[in-house]
Amino acid sequence: MPSLLHLDSGANRSGASISRQLTALFADTWRSVHGPADYRYRDLVTDPVPPLDTAYCSLGRRLERNGLVPAAEVDALTESPAEEREWALTRPLIADLLAADTVLIGAPMYNYSISAALKAWIDRVSFPGAFTDPDTGTGLLDGTRVVVISTRGGAYGPGTPLEACDFQNPYLRAYFGRQGVAAENIHFVNAEMTMAGLVPHLADFRPFAANSLAAARSEVTALAAAR
């Protein structure tokens, strides 16, 4: 049965959030096609992932010294209540990611990159050996599809003056690629100039923003309906 992990990371949790509107459209469309049975949702703002600390680092380094260790054996390598707590916070997040056929990420651009809430999730799930089969050395995310809904207040697409300032999509593409997600399974849907309707000096770009949002909605629906 297909499974969807839906993550929102936008600080604006109101109905005005375009990234949340688009991820909700994807999730609703996906459930109408595949059914609601294996759908998991996490709001990384309402339910934030704690930042890493010394105990996480100590446990991770111990695992790296021991080579690839199956997740079921990590508990036996913890050496303190703090390490046990860090692993208890980490293991369910990794399990959710590994169980998902599709990972949907709402990722508004903040200061040319991703939000701190999303970065905290990335840091925690990136536990040593988490995405590698300890017996075969093969990647565990090679069949996973990642769909990133990227919203930006300005325009950062190819040929725009701010193209070089996009540290959001290239970062996420590189990150998931390094974790073993196939390049053809990483999809980005970009809604650009989302601030044009609010900021007076961007008023001339409102038609562009409307077209970009309409195209994003169409692409989101198509990706969500794909089997």
pLDDT tens digits in sequence order for the chain, 227 residues long: 799 999 999 999 998 999 999 999 999 999 999 988 899 999 999 999 999 999 999 999 998 888 878 888 899 999 999 999 999 999 999 999 999 999 999 999 999 999 999 999 999 999 998 998 888 888 899 999 999 999 999 999 999 999 999 999 999 999 999 999 999 999 999 999 999 988 899 999 999 999 999 999 999 999 999 86
- How many structural domains are present in the chain? 1
149 annotated as a binding-site residue: no
Residue listed under structure tokens 């998902």: 100
42 is in an annotated binding site: no
- Residue 178 belongs to domain spanning: 4-225
CB 103 within 8 A of CB 161: no
CATH number assigned to the domain comprising residue 213? 3.40.50.360
- Is 153 annotated to bind a ligand? Reply is yes
Q: Is 67 annotated as a binding residue?
A: no
Task: Supply the pLDDT for residue 66.
Answer: 82
Distance CA 164, CA 129 (A): 32
